[in-house]
Structure 1
Amino acid sequence: MVNQFKKINRKIKIAAISLLSLGLLGTFSGVQPHVPIASPFPAEFSLGHANAATLSNTYATAANADLKTATTSNYFAPFDAKWAYTAGDLGANYTTSGTTLKVWAPTATSVKVISYGKSGSNATAPQVATYTMTRGTVANPSDLTKNTIGVWAVTMPGDQNGLVYTYQLTFGNGTISDYAGNYGAVNGTSTTMTTQDPYSIATVSGGLRSVVVSPASVTPSGFAVKQGTEATWRQASSTQAVIDEIHIKNFTNSPTSGVTPAYSGKFLGVAQTGTTNPNTGLTTGLSYEKALGVNYLQILPMYDFASISDTGLASPTFPSVYNWGYDPLNYNVPEGSYATSVTNPNTRLNEMKTMVQAIHNQGMGVVMDVVYNHVYDQATSSFEKTQPGYYFRRSSTTGCGNDTATNHLMFRQFILNSIKYYTLNYGIDGYRFDIMASFDKDTMNAIRAMLNTIDPHILTYGEGWYMGTDVPDDQKVDVSKAVQTPGIGYFNNGERDTIQNFVAGDQNSSGLLLSAIRGSGDGLMQYGTPAQAVNYVECHDGQTISDLEWLYNPYDAQETHEARSELASAINILAAGTTVMQNGQEFNMSRYVNVSGNPALATIQQAKIESNHDTGLKDIADAQIELARNPYNGVVTLNNTKYFVGDESSNTNWDLASTYAAQVDFLRQLIHFKKANPSFWPDDYSQIYNGTLIQPLRYDSGIVSYIMANGVNKYLVIINASGGSLNFTANDTYYDNSLAGKSILLSSDSHLASGTSLSQAWSLGNYSLALIQLQ
């Protein structure tokens, strides 16, 4: 995932809102034992050596030289060993008697706080005061929690709740470039920059000024953070998780959602319960998700991102009113356009917490989609402005641009602090990491270790695709590092491709399907446990399973098409591992938009379009017209990569839950069945290999059968994608298992109702699944 323009692409008190609470991370030194560290400064560096200004300038000169060496060599460990600070209290540390601001900027020669008073969300209010910050004087490379020589601080007395501020940093020795292709270049000219606080937890509208907030002002009524056994919605193993991916705007913006209009596209829209589709009377929103059986909602980015105005309105500066959100501006601040008001900086914090609480009240957890791997724009980033030349990678080859350097200790520390902040202050239950392969494994393992101290049941998973970054291959968090990153899940593209191809008619993929069903640990992928296999056939990236199957089989009868899509979702739900779906997948959501209103084309015209058909990703700019049979059944504009297209193709069409009611009901029953049967959520491969019997008729037959047993219950699953019906006689025997007296427990074949007796002749239709309890 990338920003808009880069990819075509349990009972505890609520933790203090101040990042001071994150000081628990102080034991993480980040100093690698193999790095030889000399005394960081000459002996004459002492508190009595010179006045504060001279000493500060001396520190800045030394830091600048060290940063040039680190940037030129692309080796930052010695720099971090001298200059890093890991006490975890950067940002605003609020108390009613005073607020201390701290910022890490070792190469700066002067730092000031610009106060705009308590001007609310007025992004243009004039400054009312300036506070000079003081550089720390303790050089302690053996304990980086006390190593303050790169930290600037000032304390403003009195209750500063609501204070709006920025930092003004002067780099009298110039700056060091960390731009791709220009690493280590020196800008020797004194430079002054003004920026918001990288550790902001609240900002004015637009995100370019920070705001001090008190815990009391951002704790909505009824909100409580719980951990451990009190967070009853968290699952003991991620293999028990059934996760539905939603986008706040998509989920609530359609009139069919039944959401109060004032809350459409907002945090509070997601928080609403008891909503119904005015067209059908069927349940929507959170109540629908609970009934479906989902136990986590994975929410696309909901921190402050740059491509949408906080007002949610279009303008020449912000022509789009929709974005996925993979363009971070302020990581620790909720997105303003999802709040009902941007005139009060507290509103977005309170409403995001209200949403999280509402989801918890429904017995579901919240997985936050986080994008620490890149920012929206390097040059204007608060990271680049507070410490130029440090936070970004030597190369940006992920397709995102502006790649951050997770292996540099201070950005690793920021990520740890940020995740801990959201966990302790918002009660987030899991984290989905964008382009996780651009992380180093030490950072991911540190994240997992830190979360384990809070609650080991907090989920962590992400995109482990192999990426060409400058992270050393032995550190890069791609799927080959699964065994080295225990507790971290990886999106299972092997399972995704196998299921998509199998239901499309590729009978030769039957053998691979067996591996996918068994948790992908025996050749398809390289996981250490089934929990690391994050199984999906559809997400916000790429085509929906319904659209994809139309592209593979454009002339399917509607019934056949629906059977393919339903079977794909069913196999994915039952496969060992962590289950992820996309909201609307269960009722065949499409990303095609009938902009022309044309009727269906004649067969010859269909063939003409299909002859030029390309099933790969399309650039929005190409505006290619594709044919797909979908709810519009006509010529449509493909909005496949739709991260900044309009709402028309993005909103959840809740009408389809009625159109495909039988499919929704089957998948709902299957989800509830899986959750109630531990045989289908093993968390160790030995449980699968010892308790699962897999026997395909032939590896190219399109028929896969398997038995799941746990010593108490025994279930037979038959999957038929052979091209025709699979026929059975009365009281048949199947792989030495007598079906006499047995009955269908669940089936996607509409002709096989639950309870159908197998003591009579029966058949399983093509592209169907049957679940039978043997004992």
Structure 2
Amino acid sequence: MNAKHLLAMLTLATAVGCNSIQRSSFDSFDEYPVYEGKWEEMTYSPAGTHFSLWAPTAQEVRVMLYEKGQGGAVQRMISMQQAADGMWQAVAEGDLKGSFYAFNVKIDGIWQGDTPGVMAKAVGVNGDRAAIIDMRETNPQGWEKDVRPPLKSFSDIIIYEMHHRDFSIDTVAGIKHRGKFLALTEDSTHTYLGEKTGIAHLKELGVTHVHLLPSFDFSSVDETKLNKPQYNWGYDPKNYNVPEGSYATDPYKPDVRIREFKQMVMALHRAGIRVIMDVVYNHTALTKGSNFERTVPGYFYRQDSEGKFANASGCGNETASERAMVRKFIIESVCYWANEYHVDGFRFDLMGIHDIVTMKEIRKALDGIDPTIFIYGEGWAAGTPQLPASELAMKNNVYQMPGIAAFSDEFRDSLRGPFGKDEKGAFVIGRPGHETGVKFGIVGGIAHPQINNDSVRRVPKIWANTPSQFISYVSCHDDLCLTDRLKVTLPGASVPELKALQKLAETAVFTSQGVPFIFAGDEILRDRKGVVNAYNKPDEINAIDWRNKTAYREVFDYVRGLIAMRKAHPAFRMGNADLIRKHLEFIHVPATNVVAFRIKGSPCGDKWLNTIVVLNARTEPIKVNIPEGKYWIACRDGKIDLILGLGMITGNQITVSPRSAMIIHQ
């Protein structure tokens, strides 16, 4: 026995937590057989149901049939037969629709325990057993006519990130299906004061894409106890290809969560809004006892040099996307959501754990379905992954991944301050030294001569080929939301100050050439009581208080105006690095805490000519020299008016009020 063989066997033994070494005929994971067909574990027909499971190290595999999704005795046990490429297969005759099933795999004489498989597409309550259903019966009326809203360019995207429960649980919102998928199908909800909420709010705001926090089946919420307060963001995957049951009106019925998810997608599409799913393929909630481990121990996860589970996710494991069948699993899963559920985009949690090849293959596969499906992710990891940095889908390697975007923490930190150091503010509250980072964000992270040649301040590393690879944001579900951050970095700030700073920050985001991203509720000064990591905190912390829309209506109107301006004027979303370098120039301002730029001419056929934007984070007015001319004012002193305007200016100098933005054009 050679050392390589021994290492592989020791790795498997560690992975399943057994004292004995697992027997395997494979010297390494690279030698595991690869199944080339479509990866279906259950195919239903009235005449019989076909089961398949990829379990190349198994000695025996059984299918256990149950009457219920939870509890009850085994109704029938079927032995599976070994087939080619690591597959096991069995056929159960008769109409089994409405039954539930689980696989059980025997390895080295040990039965691993019931699992719904790794590709389950319908499950019972809490996702412990898979369900036998006819997927055609889950389509809501009109589903065959559902189409994605038009999208000409990724640069036209405006993303709104939300959690299902946060967005609709507040009773003030007037939503019937609070905290459910169906909340986003109610199109005329409002507060008792008449402020639009729910999907009507999204339409009023004008966003193009809704980014839904994890909506697949996750582990942390007990679906049998939904009358008990429970909360989680859902970054603890259990069944990747099934909607989460706690967001359905009946988690016990497998078809309900599927149908209601589709109803939600269809309603958003009819409202002109595309749907982005937050996907978490980098780790699972459990390691030992997970669906992966009970099926093919060790294979789906990376191991460190000692044969232990690697942990770049910070959650106990990291998946091995570079292995053929793990890569196939991720690609087929993403394509399944795009095809079966008409999902329009995917945000990859800790994308930096995945390898570059896998991400490029995902892009290629989705291009075959619809090239307007958007892909972006976190270009980092929580720890150091086992692959070399040059092979990982980290932010610094985004230039190798056309059609895939990443969040810009540089722009975020330059605006509001560094992650994990909540007391430290940055540009928005008037801390000097962050102007270059803001300029980096304004051009969408591309190479630009006025930024790259800055010999005074440190310039962030250029990692985007095009601005559509650059997600511009100032806050998201992670860390403090923007209002809480401002309260911490500027203690004692008054409400007028908070409103002004919020507007200033969002102006930077929405005039950036990157893809703008806003966290749900930031447009109405949402706060989470200063809680940094609210992933499992109650509704009292996480719910959006819809009374804020009345209290801070002027902030909402301002953000809505920014979105309308961006959509109406392509100069703010040129989408091409060369065009940005040609038309966007920064205006020299001697003072600190001011960023000013001009978009020369009328790029992309914009009706505005020579648009000028000034971001003044100082506590006093600032005079800025501009090219001589006559200008119309679109934004000044915390107000936006795109129809009548806010007056005119003639000359070669403008004065911008403290802590505000000014936007003018010819």
- For normalisation by structure 1, the TM-score amounts to 0.76
Picking from 508, 511, 514, the partner of 2:433 is 508
Structure 2 residue matching 1:298: 3-state secondary structure: strand
Q: Is the 1:245–1:582 contact (alpha carbons within 8 Å) kept by the matching residues of 2?
A: yes
After TM superposition, list the pairs within 5 Å mapping 1:47-196 onto structure 2: 64-67=23-26, 69-70=27-28, 76-77=29-30, 79-80=31-32, 83-117=33-67, 119=68, 121=69, 123-136=70-83, 148-171=84-107, 174=108, 190-196=110-116
After TM superposition, list the pairs within 5 Å mapping 1:168-317 onto structure 2: 168-171=104-107, 174=108, 190-224=110-144, 230-231=147-148, 233-260=149-176, 263-278=177-192, 280-311=193-224, 313=226
In the alignment, what sits opposite 1:421? 336
Q: Is the 1:666–1:746 contact (alpha carbons within 8 Å) kept by the matching residues of 2?
A: no
In the alignment, what sits opposite 2:15? none
Q: Is the 1:90–1:199 contact (alpha carbons within 8 Å) kept by the matching residues of 2?
A: yes
CA distance in 2, matches of 1:192, 1:727: 72
Whether 1:773 and 2:662 are equivalent positions in the alignment is no
Larger displacement relative to structure 2 (192-201 or 474-483)? 192-201
Write out per-residue CA displacement over residues 706-754 of structure 1, whole angstroms, 9 at most, x where no aligned residue: 33543443211122123211358xxxxx422313xx3211235359993
Q: CA deviation at 1:97?
A: 2.9
CA distance in 1, matches of 2:87, 2:198: 46
- Number of corresponding residues: 611
In the alignment, what sits opposite 2:11? none
Q: CA deviation at 1:759?
A: 4.8
Whether 1:463 and 2:378 are equivalent positions in the alignment is yes
In the alignment, what sits opposite 1:723? 619
Structure 2 residue matching 1:735: 3-state secondary structure: strand
CA distance in 1, matches of 2:85, 2:627: 74
In the alignment, what sits opposite 2:572? 680
Q: What letter is aligned with 1:747?
A: R
After TM superposition, list the pairs within 5 Å mapping 1:727-766 onto structure 2: 727=623, 734-739=625-630, 742-750=631-639, 754-759=645-650, 763-766=655-658
Larger displacement relative to structure 2 (406-415 or 555-564)? 555-564
Q: CA deviation at 1:661?
A: 0.8
In the alignment, what sits opposite 1:633? none
CA distance in 1, matches of 2:275, 2:400: 26
Quick check: which has more Rg, 1 or 2? 1
Q: Is the 1:692–1:709 contact (alpha carbons within 8 Å) kept by the matching residues of 2?
A: no
Q: CA deviation at 1:221?
A: 1.4
Identity of aligned residues (%): 29
Write out per-residue CA displacement over residues 2-22 of structure 1, whole angstroms, 9 at most, x where no aligned residue: xxxxxxxxxxxxxxxxxxxxx
CA distance in 1, matches of 2:207, 2:224: 31
CA distance in 2, matches of 1:294, 1:532: 18
Q: CA deviation at 1:204?
A: 1.0
In the alignment, what sits opposite 1:650? 542
Unaligned runs of at least 5 residues, structure 2: 1-21, 304-309, 417-425, 448-458
Whether 1:554 and 2:476 are equivalent positions in the alignment is no
After TM superposition, list the pairs within 5 Å mapping 1:605-620 onto structure 2: none
Write out per-residue CA displacement over residues 237-282 of structure 1, whole angstroms, 9 at most, x where no aligned residue: 222111100100111100121101xx1111111221100012x211
CA distance in 2, matches of 1:648, 1:696: 46
In the alignment, what sits opposite 1:591? 528
Larger displacement relative to structure 2 (551-560 or 446-455)? 551-560
Structure 2 residue matching 1:469: 3-state secondary structure: coil
Q: CA deviation at 1:561?
A: 2.3
- For normalisation by structure 2, the TM-score amounts to 0.88
Q: CA deviation at 1:149?
A: 3.5
Write out per-residue CA displacement over residues 132-167 of structure 1, whole angstroms, 9 at most, x where no aligned residue: 11111xxxxxxxxxxx24100112233332221111
Picking from 254, 271, 276, the partner of 1:345 is 254
Q: CA deviation at 1:769?
A: 0.9
After TM superposition, list the pairs within 5 Å mapping 1:481-520 onto structure 2: 481-500=397-416, 501-520=426-445
Q: What letter is aligned with 2:433?
A: N
In the alignment, what sits opposite 1:332? 241
| Cα distance change on mapping 1:750 and 1:217 into 2, 3 Å | closer
Q: Is the 1:533–1:578 contact (alpha carbons within 8 Å) kept by the matching residues of 2?
A: yes
Q: CA deviation at 1:562?
A: 1.7
CA distance in 1, matches of 2:253, 2:648: 63
Q: CA deviation at 1:763?
A: 4.0
| Cα distance change on mapping 1:312 and 1:717 into 2, 3 Å | farther
Q: Is the 1:703–1:722 contact (alpha carbons within 8 Å) kept by the matching residues of 2?
A: no
Q: Is the 1:251–1:270 contact (alpha carbons within 8 Å) kept by the matching residues of 2?
A: no
| Cα distance change on mapping 1:708 and 1:762 into 2, 3 Å | closer
Q: What letter is aligned with 1:111?
A: V
| Cα distance change on mapping 1:95 and 1:565 into 2, 3 Å | same
CA distance in 1, matches of 2:464, 2:488: 31
In the alignment, what sits opposite 1:180? none
Q: Is the 1:225–1:424 contact (alpha carbons within 8 Å) kept by the matching residues of 2?
A: no
Write out per-residue CA displacement over residues 298-352 of structure 1, whole angstroms, 9 at most, x where no aligned residue: 000011110101145376xxxx600000001111111111111123111111111
In the alignment, what sits opposite 2:422? none
Picking from 446, 453, 463, the partner of 2:361 is 446
| Cα distance change on mapping 1:238 and 1:311 into 2, 3 Å | farther
CA distance in 2, matches of 1:750, 1:109: 70
| Cα distance change on mapping 1:659 and 1:345 into 2, 3 Å | same
Structure 1 residue matching 2:579: 3-state secondary structure: helix
Q: Is the 1:223–1:357 contact (alpha carbons within 8 Å) kept by the matching residues of 2?
A: yes
Q: CA deviation at 1:234?
A: 4.5
CA distance in 2, matches of 1:508, 1:723: 16
Q: CA deviation at 1:695?
A: 1.2
Q: Is the 1:246–1:300 contact (alpha carbons within 8 Å) kept by the matching residues of 2?
A: yes
Q: What letter is aligned with 2:74?
A: Q
CA distance in 2, matches of 1:751, 1:161: 57
CA distance in 2, matches of 1:218, 1:321: 27
Q: Is the 1:234–1:364 contact (alpha carbons within 8 Å) kept by the matching residues of 2?
A: no
| Cα distance change on mapping 1:727 and 1:99 into 2, 3 Å | same
Q: CA deviation at 1:66?
A: 4.2
Picking from 256, 266, 272, the partner of 1:357 is 266
CA distance in 2, matches of 1:450, 1:551: 44
Whether 1:408 and 2:299 are equivalent positions in the alignment is no
| Cα distance change on mapping 1:155 and 1:531 into 2, 3 Å | same
| Cα distance change on mapping 1:696 and 1:655 into 2, 3 Å | farther
| Cα distance change on mapping 1:504 and 1:725 into 2, 3 Å | same
Larger displacement relative to structure 2 (433-442 or 408-417)? 408-417
Whether 1:375 and 2:284 are equivalent positions in the alignment is yes
Q: CA deviation at 1:367?
A: 0.1
Structure 2 residue matching 1:690: 3-state secondary structure: helix
CA distance in 2, matches of 1:691, 1:707: 5
In the alignment, what sits opposite 1:432? 347
In the alignment, what sits opposite 1:606? none
CA distance in 2, matches of 1:681, 1:196: 45
Unaligned runs of at least 5 residues, structure 1: 1-62, 71-75, 137-147, 175-188, 593-637, 729-733
Structure 2 residue matching 1:736: 3-state secondary structure: strand
